[in-house]
Amino acid sequence: MKRNSSFLLKPKKGKRTGKSSFVEHRTFLHLFRSFHRLWMFLIIMFQALAIIAFHDGKLNLNTFKTLLSIGPTFAVMNFLESCLDVVLMFGAYSTARGMAISRLVIRFFWCGLSSVFVLYVYVRLLQERNKNTSDSLYFRIYVLVLGVYAGLRVLFALLLKFPACHRLSEMSDQSFFQFFKWIYEERYFVGRGLVEKTTDYMSYVFFWLVIFACKFPFAYFLQIKPLVGPTKIIINLPRLQYSWHDFVSKNNNNMLTVASLWAPVVAIYIMDIHIWYTLLSAIYGAVMGARGRLGEIRSIEMVHKRFESFPEAFVKNLVSPQIKRMPFERESSQSPHDNNKTYAAIFSPFWNEIIKALREEDYISNREMDLLSMPSNTGSLKLVQWPLFLLSSKILLAMDLALDCKDTQADLWNRICKDEYMAYAVQECYSSIEKILHSLVDGEGRLWVERIFREINSSISEGSLVITLHLKKLPVVLSRFTALTGLLIRDPTPELAKGAAKAVYDFYDVVTHELLSSDLREQLDTWQILLRARNEGRLFSRIEWPKDADIKEQVKRLHLLLTVKDNAVNIPKNLEARRRLQFFTNSLFMDMPSAKPVCEMMPFCVFTPYYSETVLYSNSELRLENEDGISTLFYLQKIFPDEWENFLERIGQGDIGYAEIQENSTSALELRFWASYRGQTLARTVRGMMYYRKALMLQSHLERRSLEEDVSSRTSFTTQGFELSREARAQADIKFTYVVSCQIYGQQKQRKAPEAADIALLLQRNEALRVAFIHVEESGAADGNVTKEFYSKLVKADANGKDQEIFSIRLPGDPKLGEGKPENQNHAIVFTRGEAVQTIDMNQDNYLEEAMKMRNLLEEFRANHGLRPPTILGVREHVFTGSVSSLAWFMSNQETSFVTLGQRVLACPLKVRMHYGHPDVFDRIFHITRGGISKSSRVINISEDIYAGFNSTLRQGNITHHEYIQVGKGRDVGLNQIALFEGKVAGGNGEQVLSRDVYRLGQLFDFFRMLSFFFTTVGFYVCTMMTVLTVYVFLYGRAYLAFSGLDQGISDEADVLGNTALDTVLNAQFLVQIGIFTAVPMVMGFILELGLLQAVFSFITMQLQLCSVFFTFSLGTRTHYFGRTILHGGAKYRATGRGFVVRHIKFAENYRLYSRSHFVKALEVALLLIVYMAYGYSEGGAVTFVLLTISSWFLVFSWLFAPYIFNPSGFEWQKTVEDFDDWTNWLMYKGGVGVKGDNSWESWWEEEQTHIQTLRGRILETILSFRFIMFQYGIVYKLHLTGRDTSIAVYGFSWVVLAGLVMIFKIFTFSPKKSTNFQLVLRFMQGITCIGLIVALCLVVFFTDLSIPDLFASFLAFIPTGWFILSLAIAWRSIVRSLGLWDSVKAFARMYDAGMGILIFSPIAVLSWFPFVSTFQSRLLFNQAFSRGLEISLILAGNKANVEASSF
């Protein structure tokens, strides 16, 4: 070790260590630098397709020579990439390694010289072609150079990226080869060896070749080729007459017009590869899901039909070999029936625990639990006993078949066997009656039972049952036996014993004298033994009450079998219970590794970061009502009515009110937990994760019992008392640990916060739970300075419920140096144990049936998944918040599509699945020794989760995805919550663009894997932004043609020239309809897992609930935050809140949140559409305009009004009035020091500008703002006042008018505080100005050609110009402040916000006049139960008010 290494030396005071190899400059250029191969490929392909199209599709020598121009294009772009390497390394040259700088310099000069040489040779080649000489020297030289260069690039690409050749390049130590390899690709330790198996490589190469095969023909025939003819015509047109003063289109063949036509096509060409990826990934993901047997069981009816196969599948996959070897009362050579009985006996205890867990979670009632539970199948009954919900009403149906039987016994049995569960029910009923009767009676009675069943069995074997028995009497017989079982299921008393004896005698009498045939009846009546006992009164005078547990279980089960008439389709009723049972039973048939015994399984830990979110709802939070009188508890009761009834049944309170529950402390606590388990709380997460321990205890207990030799087989397979077994608990604690990192738990305890008490309660209720937190100790020194010492502590609950410290680690300083969540994980990761760690957010859930599969999942670490063993196991998620509202349902479907179908394709075949947070399982040893699981640098690592995936991939990890196990996940349920979350994610992706991780992956992946990586990470947001930019490019191009008058001029010329295709091009609509293709994966997921009809129904329902409006609105959210983050930064963690959305959001709050991200942009698009409608030319008239712009109008509508459409009670008149008052108060409040933006427009306006901090940001904002000048420049030449005058003086005069209007506005808005000394003069000036303005306007209208439409047009012209001036003033606010103009700018800005607010508010106010609009919105937002509850709440509130008024 070099002790004098700079790494080990303490840095000099005040000197900051610089960057060493990468600098995170904030620029969009990182997109080109990191993924330059993608952009070069797209540009070269576009160039090639355009060349072929301009040569009319003819591939001859001339076309080939023109195609060779891709060589200079490639060389120049390669040179630009090397220039970016040099420029973007600025800031690291003083600290970077010399070799790295040398490589940059060498590449810069090499790329520069090669581009100059290739350009020179190609120019000479063109000159040679134009001379039409036979000499082709330069052509041969050019082809040779290009061929050699291309060959070398291909060779190095194969050696470095192709898996089969990669090892050869690693083994070669030739300095010559290593030098060129170093020039081609920089050496990295982190990022080396990013290759996959050849088969995996070929699979994702084929995937992308299919996409290219779809994209490029589509681009050629439908995008590029249709524009070729019109472009040639426009270029060759004579000089056109412009409507305005033209600066740039003189003698350039109308190139600006050509650019306006080609720009939207180029934008679509760049981004539509993501559309093709979306389509193919949806199809491929659906096929892979079907191959993986997803969606085979997608209804409760399918669960019923296939239940018979569940035990065998369960034993095969989820049961360890120890339990499979368990002895039963059977011979070693078992028949298939005996195997089924064995499987059922093993399966039943696990199934029953799952059903019991559903009951404890209040998803099913007690009756449903009895019907769903499965008998132990370890008794003497040889038949397989299935749960009663499969057999319910089957006996009654079989009896109806018997009553209608007019054929033979075989025909009757065949009809019964058409329903296999009916056959099971009949067989079990018959055998159970025999066994129960045999256990009840003795002496002569037992002889009668044996004689009766011997005769019936004999007739069955002879096929004469319909002759031996009078089947018409079966209902009477069964009613008598049902009466008997109804007594036997109760606790014995002398009275019940007499009643049971009489019931047995009645049963004997009916069977003997009504059911049996006459011959058999006479034999029994003359049977002396029976006759003597009957005459002496001893026959059935005493019965043996069931005491054996097996007999008791059979009596209870038989009684239910005979009496339950429920339709099995309705069991269970709860949709969540159905979904869980469907997924669990479906997963039994999916491929998964075999389960190891608990003692041999891989130990693991679950890890959850927590800060200050809700742990447990308090009583006050449940009672707190919003402005509509709706409390959280009331809301939950209406959203989950069946679960509320099941909860009351569980606590034994019946149908009582909240006050009665509060009287019992235990019930009150259970109520808090019941409500918390339906929210996104820590309590719900802890309960779910502790199911791992319960599952391990159950599995360990049954494995241990199976190994005990002296335990009888009848009792060895029971789960009774497994949670109290010391051995099972110890084994589970060895294999499982749950650590919750509650960062500020110590501070919460000190200030006695309710969260601390709730966390302590969770510790007491879960003995295996551990809590890690940061403890701060302050100590005072003699000089008065206070020093702080920081400790990481781990605690658990002791026997008295107090915190017991397990570990305490002194830290070198404050651990919170970076982002909060990753630092929270980093300080506590040391307390995790085992070989694997599952990262769980605090708004997740888990289920017992899924926890049983954790052993199988952990075995994936040892399975073969390619070239390298897995380092992160991806797990499927179920979003459980979908039932809260329509928005929650949209978000749930979108998220589910990504975490299932999307990640399925990312993992295989694309091999670019990363870590996206939530339930992934990490190889703990791998990651702790390679930087941990959380990067925490401020801002750049705001989306810390995905960096764990980047880190794992760069360090030769392997990330897989598995869908036979799922974990619950909560999502944001209100529009504002969703927008904040998407803003955070989009901002995080903007920061990823700047990161070295994305740069290295983009550089070091092979080309096809790089494509997969780009379009599934930052590329998704780039293409989202390109979709919106396409709208802007399209409309600004149309606005240019409309303002300049070229659209009509070109169309006239085209008609003269006989070209009919040109009008089609001018009226072309951009191809991407907003939100249409993004829904394809969702629909495919619906079809796969719900079925075609249900998928169609769900999709139509979503459309009726305006999901397209929501997705279009989300498009704007992602575009705004992604673009602004790259331009200016400002990405930050945004607390979204995870509560239930029953609160009406005020207009001002929505305006603050969406004003700059959506409203301003929507109004700009609307202005472009109005201008195009007013001045544009289209031969088809209004119909053509509508077809051209309907998507853009939909975007405007969605961005302006979605926050109010999806706002609870958004169209209620009283709330609308209150919102307007609140908004005007906020708008006019001056604010000041310490006033937040929520209370004052001025404070909010100042906060909105904080993202513009740097000179580069100001320059970019200035450049972008110049687009607004176009409106005034174009409109002034379209006024009637100006006529056909196109001189520049007209435009200059418009600025004079604008300056005059600004002065007038300033006079009318002059601050009263500053005019106290000349109030009278100011008022006089305002009056004179007002009169003069009116008179001047009238005179101008009267004496000139100025018309009323001109006034409105001038208004449209000056609004964008004013916004341009405001944008410049904000960007250069320091200069504006120094000039003393800031107050004037602020007044103008307030006017603009007031105008935008009125424009948006007016339609809302009009719609609020109609009551049915509010009712429709409630039905749109919430499910029917809550809408009904909302109306009831308002009625109750009114009645309560009336009662209170009358009492006074």
* Digit-coded pLDDT (tens) for 791-820: 999 999 988 888 899 999 998 888 888 888
* Residue with token string 């009816």: 301
Q: Which pair of structure tokens corresponds to residue 1387?
A: 């007044």
Identity at 747, one-letter amino acid code: Q
Distance CA 634, CA 624 (A): 10
* Digit-coded pLDDT (tens) for 1106-1138: 888 888 898 899 999 998 888 888 776 666 556
CB 77 within 8 A of CB 47: no
Residue 773, SS3 per DSSP = strand
Print burial letters for 1386-1418: b (CB count within 10 Å at least 16), e (below 16). bebbbeebeebbeebbeebbebbeeeebbeebb
Q: Which pair of structure tokens corresponds to residue 879?
A: 């979003």
Please write down the long-range contacts of 755-762, taking CB distance under 8 Å and 24 or more positions apart. 755/612, 755/614, 755/615, 758/615, 758/616, 758/682, 758/683, 759/615, 759/682, 760/797, 760/801, 760/803, 761/616, 762/615, 762/616, 762/682, 762/683, 762/686
Give the model's pLDDT for residue 135. Answer: 64
Distance CA 282, CA 1 (A): 53
Nearest in space to 58 (alpha carbons), one of 225, 206, 226: 225
Nearest in space to 363 (alpha carbons), one of 763, 883, 12: 883
Give the model's pLDDT for residue 785. Answer: 76
DSSP letter string, 596-656: PPGGGSPPEEEEEEESSS-SS--HHHHH-B-TTS-BHHHHHHHHSHHHHHHHHHHTT--S-
pTM higher than 0.85: yes
Give the model's pLDDT for residue 580. Answer: 92
Give the model's pLDDT for residue 332. Answer: 40
Give the model's pLDDT for residue 686. Answer: 94
Burial of 635 (0-12, 13-18, 19+ CB in 10 A): buried
Instruction: Locate all alpha helices (DSSP H) within 1229-1379, ordered by sequence.
Output: 1241-1247, 1255-1265, 1269-1275, 1288-1308, 1319-1343, 1348-1371, 1373-1378
> Which regions of the chain are under pLDDT 50?
327-333, 709-716, 1056-1074, 1424-1425, 1427-1428, 1430-1448
Distance CA 785, CA 899 (A): 52
Give the model's pLDDT for residue 304. Answer: 87
